Amino acid sequence: MTSARTWFITGASRGLGRAFAEAALDGGERVVAAARNVDALAELAEKYPDDLVRLSLDVSDRHAVFEAVEQAVAAFGRLDVVVNNAGGLLYGMVEEATEKQIRDHLDVNFFGAIWVAQAVIPHLRAQGSGHILQVTSMGSGGGMASVGFYGAGKAALDSVSEALAMEVEQFGIKVTAVQMGGYATGLFTAGTTATTPGPAYEALRTQMAEMWGDDAGPDPATAAPVIMKLAGMPNPPRRLIVGSRSFDMVQEMNQARAEQYRAWESLSRMAPG
C-alpha cells in the first residue's frame, strides 16, 4: 500500500462498525467514525490521534449526513471506503408494530444508507474511485416472523445497492452489499426496539425465541479480515455473504425456495408474461 486510504464508517461505536474501524486503523488506514454516541470511541481516539476523526451523527437526518460527509472529506481530503453499517432491530410481529416504530426503523436501516450514498457519490465520482459497502443481512433474501421489518429494510437496501452499482461503475465506483451473518453485535439487546406483545402471537413468539437460542454468535472482529480483503479488491463482488455458517444457510434457503417455485411451475406458466 503506497498511501493510507480513508474510511467513512457509520454505526462505528460498537459491534461490526467498531470492529471494522479498529481493523482499518490497525492496518495503517485513516477512519472517520460516525455514530450517535462517539464517547465509546475515546480509547481509539487516544490510540490513533492522527488517523481517527469522530463524528456524532444520526443517519436518519439527511441534512446532518451531508454535513458529516463534508467534514469527513475536509478532515482527510478524500474518501476511499464507505461502510454503511448503522442500523437497529425492530423485533415483533407485523401486526403489532406501530407506524412510528416502522418509519423510525426504516429511517435508519434503509434511508440512512441512502442518504450516505447520495452524499458521498459526488466526491467519489470526482476522484474517479471509491468502494461503498452496504451492510445488509444473510437473511435479506426472505422474511421471517418477528424480524420482518429488519429483513424488509435489508432486502430493500440489497436491491437498491444492485441498482446503484450499475449506475456508478462508469465513474470507477464499486458497490458491494455485504450480507452479514449473525455476530455478537448487541443487535438483539442495545440495538433493539420491541413491539408490545400481542397474546395472539404468544405461541409463535415462544417458538421463535427457542429457534434463536442463546448463542450470540462470534465476535465481530472475526468478520473484519473479510471486510479488509474485500475493500482491497480491484473488482469486488456486488454481493458477498460474510460467515461460513451463514453461507451454508443461505444456500439451503435458496435451494428450498427453488423447490417451491418448481412445485408451482405449472400454475406460473398459465400466464404468458
| Amino acid letter for position 99 | E
Neighbours of 92 (CB within 10 A): 24
User: CA distances (Å), 271 to each of 260, 261, 265, in order?
Assistant: 18, 15, 11
Q: Is 150 an annotated catalytic residue?
A: yes
Whether the Cβ atoms of residue 31 and residue 24 lie closer than 8 Å to each other: yes
- Among residues 139, 86, 130, the alpha carbon closest in space to that of 109 is found at 86
Q: Of the listed 48, 91, 150, 201, which one is catalytic? A: 150
Quote the CA–CA distance of 62 and 45 in Å, as a whole number.
Answer: 26
Look at phi and psi of residue 172 and say left if phi exceeds 0, alpha if psi is from -120 to 50, else beta.
left
Whether the Cβ atoms of residue 88 and residue 15 lie closer than 8 Å to each other: no
Whether the Cβ atoms of residue 101 and residue 113 lie closer than 8 Å to each other: no
Quote the CA–CA distance of 141 and 144 in Å, as a whole number.
Answer: 10
- Among residues 78, 75, 64, 85, the alpha carbon closest in space to that of 122 is found at 78
What is the layout of strands, in order, in the sheet containing 52-56? 52-56, 30-35, 6-10, 81-84, 130-137, 173-180, 239-242
The catalytic site residues sit at 150
